[in-house]
Amino acid sequence: MNPQELLILKRMKSAIDSGRVEDLCTSSLKVPIEEFTDISIFERELKTLFKKYLLPIAASDEIAKPGDFLCREVLGQSYILTRDKDKKVNIFRNVCKHRGAALLECETKGNQKAISCPYHAWTYDLSGKLIGVPEKSVGFPNFKESEHNLKPMPFRESAGYIWFCSEEVPSSFGALDLFAEEWKNYELASSVSHFQSQTLVNFNWKLGVNAFLEAYHFNSTHPGSVAPYYVNNRFVFDKYGENAKISLPMSSILEQFSKLSPEKWEFRKHVNLVYFIFPGSFIFVLPDHTTVLSFQPLGIDKTRVFADFRILPGPEKSERYWQKNIDLFKKALKEDFEISESIQRGLASTANRFFTLATFESPIQHFQNSLNTLRS
Ligand code: FES
Ligand SMILES: [Fe+2]
């Protein structure tokens, strides 16, 4: 255990012993319901947040070998990811340079040397270079292939994921640097996917984010799934700019705190680390696995949730063990999604003009304050 982890455990113990979360916020915060219903706020968020900040688009190992490619939709736009012959990752918009046809169907995957447009068969290698134009000498005088290559988009690989920004402007890669060292220690880049899902849900993306930025609801929302594994509503919260890290104590930590002196404490075994990458992505690090969760808005009350359950390097465990964990994860997600959909429906009733966030819902308060500052 490193000194930073020991410090987190000491803060965690004091939160549990004192029966309260650290006073990071001194007052409650009123959030107007327009946050989730006003289309002008939503459009501003798309423009100023989702097109400029990072999103995970695919796991690095989904395109592990030279020749691997896949097509994925993010925020309603389609992208091609490739691992070219030099093992380099490339991201391109899924749009042909001739007359704009989609080169691949969404979620197509495979391994080949080149991608050919289904319309007139212009062909690109996996680094985006145009390598074939049928009837070129007949119909395209003075044609320069180099002017028609697919343009690679900026991205960064971190924590075993490919992160990108859908606008071709320098994006906030710094968020990944903040946690790079910790993720390296936890071997996230060596994690392997065991279950992946994309779910369309009927709530505003921020309701989804809010559900993972507090531990107040565990006992009441998740009694039959994850609640027994956690200490309800006690955690350690650290801000990293608009990003955050929440260290959630698992129930097993209580025995450690009551019976062992700090030099014998263990960290990884008893803590679920929640890394929040603003605006809408999470990486959860548990003792033997990690999950990636990303909320991607499709409309003011429509969101696509991407989830990936990934096994970390360590002693081999049975398929039954993993399946039980995945079932728990899916059950908890379903419970959170159902509550969030009920909130979205309730917004239309005009029963509330605002929501009231407790002082211990401090990570949501921080999120809301970041939104107020960054989307203007
Ligand atoms: S649109 Fe792709 S080859 Fe014509
Ligand atoms: Fe939850």
Residues 318-346 pLDDT 10s: 999 999 999 999 999 999 999 999 999 99
CA pair distance 323, 195, nearest whole angstrom? 9
Per-residue confidence at 171, pLDDT binned at 50, 70, 90?
low
Q: Is the pLDDT of residue 170 over 60?
A: no
Any idea which fold 55-157 has? Rieske Iron-sulfur Protein (2.102.10)
Q: For ligand 1, which residues put their CB under 6 angstroms from it?
A: 96, 98-101, 117, 119-122
Ligand 2 centre and the CA of 136: distance in Å?
57
pLDDT of residue 190: 95
Contact 114/71 with Cβ under 8 angstroms?
A: no
Query: Given pLDDT bands bounded at 50, 70 and 90, which one contains residue 20?
Result: confident
Question: Residue 169: pLDDT band by 50, 70, 90 thresholds?
Answer: low
Residue with CA at minimum distance from ligand 1 atom 1: 99
Least confident interval from 34-38, 167-171, 295-299, 309-313: 167-171
Distance CA(95)–CA(102), nearest Å, equals 5
Q: Which CATH architecture has domain 3-52+191-374?
A: Alpha-Beta Complex (3.90)
> Hey, which of 93, 98, 130 would you mutate to test ligand 1's pocket, going by the most ligand atoms within 8 Å of its Cβ?
98
Question: What is the number of alpha carbons within 13 Å of residue 196 lying toward its C-beta?
Answer: 9
Residues within 5 Å of ion ligand 2, judged at the Cβ atom: 336
Please list, in sequence order, all residues whose beta carbon lies within 8 angstroms of the beta carbon of residue 157, skipping any fewer than 6 positions away: 60, 89, 163, 189
pTM: 0.94
Burial class (CB in 10 A: 0-12, 13-18, 19+), 46: middle
Q: Which of 97, 115, 122, 140 to mutate to test the pocket of ligand 1 (most atoms within 8 A of CB)?
A: 122
Atom nearest to 121 CA in ligand 1:
3
343-359 pLDDT, tens per residue? 999 998 888 999 999 99
Match 């429906």 to its residue by tokens: 345
pLDDT at residue 168 in the model: 63
Give the ligand with the smallest distance to the CA of 207: 2
Q: Ligand 1, closest atom to CA 96?
A: 2
Contacts (Cβ under 8 Å, ≥6 apart) of 56: 161, 162, 163, 281, 292, 294, 306
Specify the domain boundaries for CATH 3.90.380.10 within the chain: 3-52+191-374
Percent of residues, the chain, with pLDDT higher than 70: 98
Q: What angle do CA 218, 223, 227 make, to 5 degrees?
A: 45
- For the CA of 117, the nearest atom of ligand 1: 2
Greatest mean pLDDT among 67-71, 170-174, 178-182, 312-316 lies in 67-71
Which one of 94, 103, 117 would you pick to mutate in the ligand 1 pocket, going by the greatest count of ligand atoms within 8 A of its CB? 117
Looking at the predicted structure, is the pLDDT value of residue 83 above 80?
yes
The pLDDT value given to residue 313: 94
